Amino acid sequence: MFRLPIFATAFRLFFFACSAHALFVITLWILKLRGLSVAETSVSPTYWHTYEMVFGFSRAAIFGFLFTAGQHWSGKFLLGGSSLVMLFSLWLAGRFAFFLPLPWSYAAFALDIICTGFALYRLRPLMNPEQKHNHNVFYLTVMFFLSQVMALTALHAYSNGELFLHSLRLALLIVVLFVAVIAGRILPFFASVVMQGEKPRILPALERLVWPAAILALLSYALLPAGKFFIYLAAVAFAASAALHGLRWYFWRPFSSFRIPILAILYAGYLWLVAGFAMQAFAVLGLMP
């Protein structure tokens, strides 16, 4: 069974899982919004839906990409065959956690946490000392894992809905940072291949600032409940991230991509990332929702 093509690389199984999961969860969510009592959840349906969008759908997309591209980045085998089936099975088990009665619900949540932990274990080759450019991907996965643990601890150990949602927003920010890191690798490469005579410019000084600004934004956002200082620090960090990513976008020569729609849409997507950081700076200050 493990020799079937779908088990050869992570993106085949997990990208399919993304599509199927989104179809199921969005359909179920619409039914719940219409007041239909189907597939009752053990907690608020809002908590279930929020968790599934981040640790169900988004995590499957991240796994599908990282364990495919990561093998090229590291030059080592990361996941496939039986190890891919194991990771997928753990992920799938977690999707039932909100619907099961106790103690089966706790067991399913535990498997969902183990899923991210197992992914971390399989991503260890990215920490090769000679490939420091891969380290930030591993660190983001660590923070993603910690945010998941924090969210489930807040929900089940403390019944703290606000801390649960804050942890989910933190995890969503980590997903955005995954997008920023991955885009920084693939977008200039794609553009340099197809845009003849208009090569994207990658400024080393700018690139050295992007990651520290992202970490500052992430840590200050995580500590928002601790006091006003972190609110102002987060606003500065998000504004700096918006500026840095905006400059990054500009030097990648986005206007030359207009004649190539499949490339232009990547640039447009990255511009929304810039806008999102800018809006988040205003949001943490309470100047916009």
Mean pLDDT of all residues in 64-90: 92
Mean pLDDT of all residues in 5-26: 92
The gap from C-alpha 230 to its chain's centroid, in whole angstroms, comes to 23
The band of 6, judged by pLDDT with boundaries at 50, 70 and 90, is: confident
Mean pLDDT of all residues in 114-139: 94
Confirm if 16 and 23 have CB atoms less than 8 A apart: no
Residues 216-248 have pLDDT tens digits of: 999 999 999 998 999 999 999 999 999 999 999
Q: Which amino acid is at 125?
A: P
Mean pLDDT of all residues in 69-98: 93
Peptide bond into 289 cis (omega under 30): no
The band of 212, judged by pLDDT with boundaries at 50, 70 and 90, is: very high
Comparing CA positions, the residue from 27, 73, 69 lying closest to residue 52 is: 27
Peptide bond into 103 cis (omega under 30): yes
Round the CA-based radius of gyration of the chain to a whole number and report it.
20
The band of 152, judged by pLDDT with boundaries at 50, 70 and 90, is: very high
Distance in angstroms (rounded) separating the CA atoms of residues 56 and 109? 12
Residue 270, both tokens = 């990255």
The pLDDT value recorded for residue 126 is 94
Does the pLDDT at position 2 exceed 70?
A: no
Distance in angstroms (rounded) separating the CA atoms of residues 81 and 189? 30
Q: Provide the 3-class DSSP secondary structure of residue 138.
A: helix
CB atoms within 10 A of CB 5: 7
The pLDDT value recorded for residue 194 is 85
